Amino acid sequence: MTGFSAAAADYLSTRRAMGYKLAYQGQLLGQFAAYLDAAGIDRLTIVHALAWARQPADAAPVWWAVRLGVARGFARYLSAIEPATEVPPVRLLPEPSHRIVPYIYSDPDIALLLAAAGRLAPEHRADTYRTLIGLISVAGMRAGEAVRLDLDDVDLDEGLLTIRNSKFGKSRQVPLHSTSVEALAAYARRRDKRRPRPKSPSFFTSAIGTRLLRDNVSTVFPRLVREAGLQSPHRRRSPRLHDLRHTFAVTLRDRLVSGGARCRAARHRLRAARRDRRSGRSQGGRHAGSPDTSCHARHARRGERRR
């Protein structure tokens, strides 16, 4: 087979049409295809994939594994076109774990972050970062999603955010608590008062009225972490902005588990009370089924939906 660069372009088009962004993977694949074309080979083999993946020679093994993973995905695609293509097996190169352990922020941690953001200059920059970090922490959004919010995406009357073209090209709506709606509305009033004629349709704006840049947010946040005195117990990596999303997920899970335990206890007491009534016994004081009636009502509604 010849024309690996053309085949790589077709492969990327196909994958991206399925919703995969393939940003750095696309760059690596272009380099791999150019390497194969320069070698003048007719078919992709494991030897060629390994030779390219192990460049540069002094790179970390995890980087070699990443490069080989790119070559493997392309080889799988080519094998449907050219059956003689060799697909590198998984774990051909040892890949040490590179998964980052997220930092779970406590409420005091977030308060320290917001205080550090409030000390930024000028005033509107501080206001924007405080509101942005606060929104990410309570809505569980990705930072890029929050930065991309336009004015039309923030419905303060309905208390809804519309996230457009996010991961895998999907869109979704995020409901907001009334306190979050109030905070966003207050920010919007201050923003519009400072700059009545916006330069951008963005909800969150920079000090000069333009859309925030994701790269700038990623640069500012580590500074806020240092000023807040936050440090990961693993000490290998500082707390990240994306860890606020992990914190939201963990907090929500804990609340659901706790709420579920309370509901199960309430249902147990309710069943006991029903047995007592059937047997003619009564309990003094508060009715055994009276606590946590909201849990019972919630489960009753779930039952109605199932029917």
Tens of pLDDT, residues 42-96: 999 999 999 999 999 998 888 899 999 999 999 999 999 999 999 999 889 876 6
User: What are the residues whose beta carbons fall under 8 Å from the beta carbon of 53, sequence distance 6 or more?
Assistant: 64, 65, 67, 68, 71, 93
Q: Residue 154 belongs to what H/E stretch? A: strand 154-155
Same domain, 235 and 259: no
Residue 227 maps to a domain: yes
Q: Is residue 88 part of a domain?
A: no
Are residue 153 and residue 113 in the same domain, yes or no?
yes
Instruction: Examine the domain organization and report whether 53 and 174 are in the same domain.
Output: no
Distance CA 131, CA 115 (A): 11
44 and 117, same structural domain? no
Residue 86 lies in a domain: no
Residue whose C-alpha is closest to residue 188's, from 174, 208, 202: 202
Structural domain including 216 reads 107-241
For position 263, what pLDDT does the model report?
A: 61
Does 111 share its domain with 237?
A: yes
Specify the pLDDT at position 100: 75
Q: Is 278 exposed, middle or buried (0-12, 13-18, 19+ CB in 10 A)?
A: exposed
**Do 154 and 183 lie in a common domain?**
yes
Q: Are residues 117 and 232 in the same domain?
A: yes
pLDDT of residue 288: 33
pLDDT of residue 285: 34
pLDDT for 137 equals 95
274 lies in a domain?
yes
What's the pLDDT tens digit per position in 157-177? 999 999 998 877 788 999 999
- Is residue 215 domain-shared with residue 189, that is, in the same domain? yes
Q: Are residues 227 and 260 in the same domain?
A: no
Edge to edge, what strands does the sheet with 154-155 contain? 154-155, 160-163, 172-175
End-of-domain residue from the set 220, 241, 262: 241
Does any domain span residue 127? yes
233 and 267 in a single domain? The answer is no
**What are the structure tokens assigned to 156, written together?**
């303060």
Do both 281 and 182 map to the same domain?
A: no
**Residue where a domain stops, chosen among 79, 99, 134:** 79
* Total domain count, the chain: 3
In 3-state terms, what secondary structure has residue 143? Answer: helix
Quick one: 237 and 259 in the same domain?
no
**DSSP code for 89:** P
Q: List, for the chain, all residue ranges whose pLDDT scores fall below the cut of 50.
A: 281-307
Q: Structure pTM?
A: 0.62
Q: Which residues are catalytic?
A: 142, 167
Q: Specify the 3-state DSSP secondary structure of 147.
A: helix
Indicate whether 100 belongs to any domain.
Answer: no
